[in-house]
């Protein structure tokens, strides 16, 4: 039992890996929040896509008018998809990066910049802020992932 | 050689990690099945989005009528996107959770609940079942991932 | 310090894991490139979706005509979504596969086939090539992930 626990927790004892775990959990929870934002706009704007979702507003023709798109719902959905497109590479490349033996301070810089940039990106998308607010926050996150990929390829390269 | 094998398989020898690997492979295969469901509806409903995909039905004007949306195709696509939005956080947070040293029984409870909920969600979306069938199955999967994230952050916290 | 470095790099010292890290970084970078392809088409075709993105082309009514869809933009976006749907399972299942102790040569065959197939898929989508070019490249990547999932389930099975 003790041996098994020790084995299972050795990665999580590593400081870089602990930092990766913390920031990855935060950005993935932030991405999950987008589902709630979309649901909030769907309910308050009464804009649904599935006929079975409008039954609470009455059956048949009277509910059909709620099967429509709404600008706020679509905006939240675009923010969610943009998260998927950017947070997936961060998690995949970030895991490999955390295992490639970077300095803790360098790793923390990468993880903090990415997480801050993606939180800013969400606010820039939802408020919305004038450009280049959203574009710049996107570019920071993108560059961080690129930088980690470079370190991974330099360390692991085996084609 | 022996040393390398032992090194590469030590994580997979851990029971919690084996359970994570099993359920992750199952939910990712389930997600991949959505591609086949979409393809099935595209072909049977003759509803395509790329002009080059309709060439089998004749060239030029006669094939253009197959460039259209179909409710069943769109429903399968929404189910697929919902899988991406929910299974990606499960896999990322679940991996960190499996490495955070949980009890096997607690881990199995999380993995089984999530996997069952997502399989139910797919049936609820495709049949479709009346609400709150789809909503509840979505909420169970969401809550499981949230619970694992809490354990990860409690164990790994390093900002 | 030495002990910590050794611990953090042990996985990355494993040859199968190094190959996985290399190919995963490559396919995730390829997926990230789709953002730039979409941005390129949005700017050259002047086809945007967010009102705040068209401000550079003039305020108010004169910029509204750039809020439109464009076939090239939509094609790049579909390629990007297809990448998400297929590269996410590859990364998740591939990680578990790399930890399940496969032969290096077998693992390299899987990773190379998948990476080559997804690069071909992108060209087939963007050019576009006549079918079944895109369909076949999609099927090769899909089958590779399926084959890795089979090995993972055979090695790790614990329900």
Please indicate whether, in this complex, the C-beta atoms of C78 and B50 are within 8 angstroms of each other.
yes
Kindly identify which residue of chain B lies nearest to residue C81, measuring between CA atoms.
B81
Range of A84-88, B9-13, C60-64 with top mean pLDDT: A84-88
Instruction: With respect to residue C115, please indicate whether it lies within any of the assigned structural domains.
Output: yes
pLDDT at C8 over 50: no
Give percent of chain A above pLDDT 70. Answer: 94
Do C143 and B12 form a contact (C-beta atoms < 8 A)? Answer: no
- What do you get for the CA distance between the two ends of chain A, in Å? 39
Put simply, whether B58 touches A (Cβ < 8 Å) is no
A113-122, B8-17, B78-87, C27-36: least confident range: B8-17
What distances in angstroms separate CA C35 from CA A82, B96, B107, C1, C48, one per listed residue? 9, 28, 36, 39, 14
Give percent of chain B above pLDDT 90. Answer: 85
Q: How many domains is chain C partitioned into structurally?
A: 1
Put simply, whether C21 touches A (Cβ < 8 Å) is yes
Instruction: With respect to residue B42, please indicate whether it lies within any of the assigned structural domains.
Output: no
pLDDT at position B119 = 98
- What do you get for the CA distance between the two ends of chain C, in Å? 39
Do B77 and B69 form a contact (C-beta atoms < 8 A)? Answer: no
C-alpha C81/C-alpha C115 separation (Å) is 17
Per-residue pLDDT tens digits for C82-135: 999 999 999 999 999 999 999 999 999 999 999 999 999 999 999 999 999 999
Mean local confidence (pLDDT), B66-78: 96
pLDDT at B95 over 90: yes
**Mutation to test the C interface, candidates A71, A89, A157, most C Cβ within 10 Å:** A89
What distances in angstroms separate CA C49 from CA A39, A84, A132, B15, C55, one per listed residue? 21, 18, 15, 48, 12
Dihedral-angle region of residue B130 (phi above 0 means left; psi in -120 to 50 means alpha; beta otherwise): beta
What distances in angstroms separate CA B48 from CA B34, B62, B78, B102, C83, one per listed residue? 16, 14, 16, 46, 18
Per-residue pLDDT tens digits for C28-79: 999 999 999 999 999 999 999 999 999 877 777 778 899 999 999 999 999 9
pLDDT at position A58 = 73
Instruction: With respect to residue A104, please indicate whether it lies within any of the assigned structural domains.
Output: yes
Per-residue pLDDT tens digits for B114-144: 999 999 999 999 999 999 999 999 999 999 9
- More confidently predicted of A123 and B58: A123
Please indicate whether, in this complex, the C-beta atoms of A12 and B155 are within 8 angstroms of each other.
yes
Instruction: With respect to residue B48, please indicate whether it lies within any of the assigned structural domains.
Output: no
Per-residue pLDDT tens digits for C133-151: 999 999 999 999 999 999 9
pLDDT at position C133 = 96
Kindly identify which residue of chain B lies nearest to residue A18, measuring between CA atoms.
B156
Kindly identify which residue of chain B lies nearest to residue C7, measuring between CA atoms.
B7
pLDDT at position B31 = 98
* 3-class DSSP assignment, residue C1: coil
Instruction: With respect to residue C126, please indicate whether it lies within any of the assigned structural domains.
Output: yes
- Strand (E) or helix (H) holding B116: helix B104-126
**CB-CB neighbors (< 8 A) of A156 in chain C:** 12, 17-18, 21-22, 25
pLDDT at B102 over 60: yes
Helix C15-44 crosses helix C71-98 at what angle (to 10 degrees)? 170
Please indicate whether, in this complex, the C-beta atoms of C19 and A95 are within 8 angstroms of each other.
no
Instruction: With respect to residue C20, please indicate whether it lies within any of the assigned structural domains.
Output: yes
Per-residue pLDDT tens digits for A136-147: 999 999 999 999
A43-66 in b/e form (b: 16+ CB < 10 A) is eeeebbbbebbbeeeeeeeebeeb
C83 by Cβ neighbours in 10 Å (0-12 / 13-18 / 19+) ranks as buried
Kindly identify which residue of chain B lies nearest to residue C141, measuring between CA atoms.
B32
A141: containing domain: 1-36+70-158
* 3-class DSSP assignment, residue C67: strand
Instruction: With respect to residue B74, please indicate whether it lies within any of the assigned structural domains.
Output: yes
pLDDT at A3 over 50: no
Instruction: With respect to residue A64, please indicate whether it lies within any of the assigned structural domains.
Output: no
C-alpha C77/C-alpha C88 separation (Å) is 16
Please indicate whether, in this complex, the C-beta atoms of B24 and C92 are within 8 angstroms of each other.
yes
**Mutation to test the A interface, candidates C32, C36, C49, C113, most A Cβ within 10 Å:** C32
Provide the shortest C-alpha distance from residue C136 to chain A (in Å): 23
Please indicate whether, in this complex, the C-beta atoms of C75 and B31 are within 8 angstroms of each other.
no
Mean local confidence (pLDDT), A4-9: 43
- What do you get for the CA distance between the two ends of chain B, in Å? 39
pLDDT at B1 over 70: no
Mean local confidence (pLDDT), A51-80: 90
pLDDT at A119 over 90: yes
Put simply, whether A157 touches C (Cβ < 8 Å) is yes
Put simply, whether C18 touches B (Cβ < 8 Å) is no
Domain harbouring A110, CATH code = 1.20.120.550
pLDDT at A154 over 60: yes
Neighbours of B135 (CB within 10 A): 14
Provide the shortest C-alpha distance from residue A131 to chain B (in Å): 26
Kindly identify which residue of chain A lies nearest to residue B100, measuring between CA atoms.
A9
Neighbours of C25 (CB within 10 A): 24
Between chain A and chain C, how many beta carbons pairs sit less than 8 Å apart?
Answer: 98
Put simply, whether B1 touches C (Cβ < 8 Å) is no
pLDDT at position C4 = 43
Residues whose CB falls within 8 Å of the CB of residue A138, separated by 6 or more in sequence, listed in order:
A82, A86, A117, A121
Q: Which of A22, A34, A88 sits opposite B158 (nearest CB)?
A: A22
Put simply, whether C88 touches A (Cβ < 8 Å) is yes
Per-residue pLDDT tens digits for A17-56: 999 999 999 999 999 999 999 999 999 999 999 999 998 7
The pTM for the full model equals: 0.94
pLDDT at position C2 = 42
């Amino acid at each position: 039992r003790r041996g098994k626990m020790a084995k299972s927790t050795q990665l999580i004892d590593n400081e870089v890996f602990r930092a990766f775990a913390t920031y990855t959990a935060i950005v993935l929870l932030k991405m999950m929040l987008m589902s709630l934002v979309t649901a909030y706009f769907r309910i308050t704007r009464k804009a649904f896509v599935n006929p079975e979702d409008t039954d609470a507003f009455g059956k048949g023709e009277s509910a059909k008018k709620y099967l429509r798109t709404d600008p706020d719902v679509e905006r939240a959905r675009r923010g969610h998809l943009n998260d998927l497109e950017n947070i997936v590479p961060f998690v995949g490349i970030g895991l490999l990066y955390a295992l490639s033996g970077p300095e803790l301070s360098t790793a923390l810089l990468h993880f903090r910049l990415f997480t801050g940039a993606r939180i800013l990106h969400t606010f820039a998308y939802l408020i919305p802020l004038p450009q280049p607010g959203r574009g710049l926050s996107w570019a920071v996150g993108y560059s961080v992932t690129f930088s980690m990929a470079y370190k991974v390829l330099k360390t692991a390269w085996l084609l």
